[in-house]
Amino acid sequence: MHRRAAGIIGLLTFLSNGCGGEEPAAVAGAELLELGAEQVAIGVRHILTSDGVLRARLQADTAFFLEEESLVRFRGVRVYFFGEIGEQVSVLTAENGVINLQTEDMEATGEVVVVDREQSERLETDALEYHAASDELRSDVDFTFYRGSNTIRGQGFVSDPGLDTVHVTRPSAVTSRRSAVP
């Protein structure tokens, strides 16, 4: 795909140069070509279900479809997670994301924040994964979790998407504070 896209861009450049002498406008940036995406979409929504039950709704500013790998890469990610009876349980925001279209597993990176439905719990990390089969959020990197007046810091956790049960792998600090979730 990369050579084909470069060939198309080269052909367009050749044709536009021969048609008027003006500098051609950029067709695609080098970053897009390096991704090797077969398709690029703006303003994307993707629904994840399990046995016909809505589990998550992903929205993204931009999506890059990598069909050979069954992956879609996203920028400007927002994921709404839903519970057993279809109620929204949390919202995840991140700079970037990847979803495997075969397993519906997701990975979020870059200033990842998960806030529960009451906005009383907040989890912040640099990266986390959503495993669709087990309906779990997981990470093995540093995180901060705010629950009520407590702040928990550590490395690695496993949680349900609603942040009701958070299992910390390696806690490093638990502190109490007076103010609510930041």
150: its two tokens = 């407590």
Pick from 38, 56, 28: nearest CA to 114: 56
C-beta separation of 109 from 133 below 8 A: no
56: its two tokens = 């998550």
34: its two tokens = 């390096």
Q: What are phi and psi of 4, to 5 degrees?
A: -65, -45
pLDDT for the residue numbered 97? 96
pLDDT for the residue numbered 61? 94
pLDDT for the residue numbered 85? 84
pLDDT for the residue numbered 8? 36
Q: What is the helix (H) or strand (E) element at residue 176, kind and residue range?
A: strand 166-176
pLDDT for the residue numbered 151? 93
Give the C-alpha separation, 170 to 28, whole Å: 44
Q: What is the pTM of this model?
A: 0.76
Domain ranges of the chain: 1-36, 37-176
What CATH fold (topology level) applies to the domain 37-176?
lipopolysaccharide transport protein A fold (2.60.450)
Pairing of strands 71-82, 53-66: antiparallel
Walk along the chain (182 residues) in steps of 10 and give the mean pLDDT of each run.
39 42 52 61 89 91 83 94 92 96 94 93 96 95 93 95 94 75 54
